[in-house]
Amino acid sequence: MILDLEKFLAAERPRWKELEFQLTRIESDGNRQVPLAEIRRFHYLYERASSDLAKITTFAAEPETRRYLEALVSRAYAEIHETRERAHRFAPIHWFLVTFPRVFRRHLQAFLATVFITLAGVGFGAFATAFDPDSRRVTMPFGHDQTTPSDRVQREVSSGGAAGGGSVGFSTQLMTHNTQVSILTMALGMTCGVGTLISLFYNGVILGAIGFDYIQDGQGRFLAGWLLPHGSIEIPAILIAGQAGLVLGVTILGRGAAVPLRARLRAVTPDLVTLIGGVAILLIWAGLVEGLFSQYHEPMLPYSVKIAFGLVELTALVWFLTWFGRRRDQRETNGS
């Protein structure tokens, strides 16, 4: 049988036009409440267009109409068969205060792994600085190997923290740089998490080496006052980015998983985006604190105040990540 193309087109085209009109409406406003009758009609039109596509492929092979119908059916298919949960409207406050801490807790093991690997790096960095002074050239970037902590503290204190501190521009540069580093840490999860682990370990090595150098030189109090105000948020933020990278890596490895890779990635994608989005928010705060607060030193700003501020921030962050969104967790547990 060969299809009578002209008759077929004349008969079916009004329905294709109707389907196209409905598709355009749905695509332009995904949050519109669609009446049941309209949904039924839409489904009917989709099935009809699918049937027409099958007919034209089998009995006519007319390429233009087939391509048109393929495009139409693919659009309708995407709307009808999409079953993933969709947020009605993006609510940024709810997302940050509820979704982000919940997602963080869901992947707590990955976070603990990032803490462990970073601490291992800190230990290695401190050990290297203690027993191999030449390692400073590798483990201390940003010119820290060129000077002793005491000299640096003297310079900072004498300048009152004017070396880059107290500047909105400096804060913004720190924010953007740290966010880029976080994104890379997460993205390296594509190497089955190996790249993320190396990045975290290396960060730990730098932290351990510089920290040990300052403590050894008797500048531990300065270091705490300098690092804690922004580091109490910045370091956990980088660790959360590493957590996202490890989640990605573990998902790719899929050890013992019964579902295929694509399904696993599909399931974990929103969590990765939530984690990295939360990291960006935390880094904005950390950048502001680092640019506008951390760079001021005694006598302008007592170290005790800076240390206390950092500890309060850290406590607040732990409380936020541990308790926010719990009520919803319990509701879902009870519901299930």
Partner 1 sequence: MDPRSVPIMNSELLIRTPEGIAFSLPLAGPLARCLAWAIDSILIIALILCTVLLLSLFGWAAPDFVQALIALAVFAVQIGYGIAMEWRWRGQTLGKRALRLRVMDVQGLKLQFSQVVLRNLLRAVDFLPSFYLVGGAACVLNRRYQRFGDLAANTVVVSLPRLAQPDLDQLLAGQFNSLCEHPHLAARLRQKTSPGEAAVVLNALLRREQLEPGARIELFAELARHFRALVEFPPESVESVGDEQYLRNVVDVLYRSRATRVFRLNQPTTLETAVRFSSSDSRPA
Question: For residues 12-41, which are near partner 1 according to CB under 8 A?
Answer: 13, 16-17, 20, 27
Would you say 32 or 262 has its CB closer to partner 1? Answer: 262
Would you say 276 or 321 has its CB closer to partner 1? Answer: 276
Residue 332 tokens read as 């879902």
Distance of closest approach, residue 189 Cβ to partner 1, in angstroms: 8
Three-state secondary-structure class, residue 141: coil
Please name the residue ranges forming H helices in the chain. Answer: 5-28, 36-59, 63-81, 92-94, 100-106, 108-131, 136-139, 149-159, 168-187, 194-216, 220-253, 261-289, 303-323, 326-335
Give the C-alpha separation, 301 to 287, whole Å: 18
Give the C-alpha separation, 328 to 336, whole Å: 12
Interface positions, 74-133, toward partner 1 (CB under 8 A): 74-75, 77-79, 81-82, 84, 86, 90
Q: Which of residues 61, 112, 162, 163 is near partner 1 by CB under 8 A? A: 61
* 47 near partner 1, rule: CB under 8 A: yes
Task: Determine contact, residues 292/171, Cβ cutoff 8 Å.
Answer: yes
Give the C-alpha separation, 286 to 264, whole Å: 33
End-to-end CA distance of the chain: 55
Task: Give the per-residue contact string, 219-258, with partner 1 (x = CB under 8 A; - = no).
Answer: -----------------------------x----------
Q: Which of residues 207, 227, 235, 276 is near partner 1 by CB under 8 A? A: 276
Would you say 9 or 317 has its CB closer to partner 1? Answer: 9
Would you say 115 or 265 has its CB closer to partner 1? Answer: 265
- The number of residues in the chain equals 336
**Residue 22: closest CA among 42, 1, 36, 48:** 42
Give the C-alpha separation, 66 to 305, whole Å: 72
Distance of closest approach, residue 114 Cβ to partner 1, in angstroms: 18
Interface positions, 294-333, toward partner 1 (CB under 8 A): none
Query: Contact region for partner 1 (CB under 8 A) — 7-15, 112-120, 121-129, 147-155?
Result: 7-15
Three-state secondary-structure class, residue 34: coil
Would you say 56 or 301 has its CB closer to partner 1? Answer: 56
Distance of closest approach, residue 289 Cβ to partner 1, in angstroms: 15
Interface positions, 143-202, toward partner 1 (CB under 8 A): 167-169, 171-173, 176, 179-180, 183-184, 186-188, 190-191, 195
Three-state secondary-structure class, residue 64: helix
Distance of closest approach, residue 5 Cβ to partner 1, in angstroms: 4
Distance of closest approach, residue 40 Cβ to partner 1, in angstroms: 16
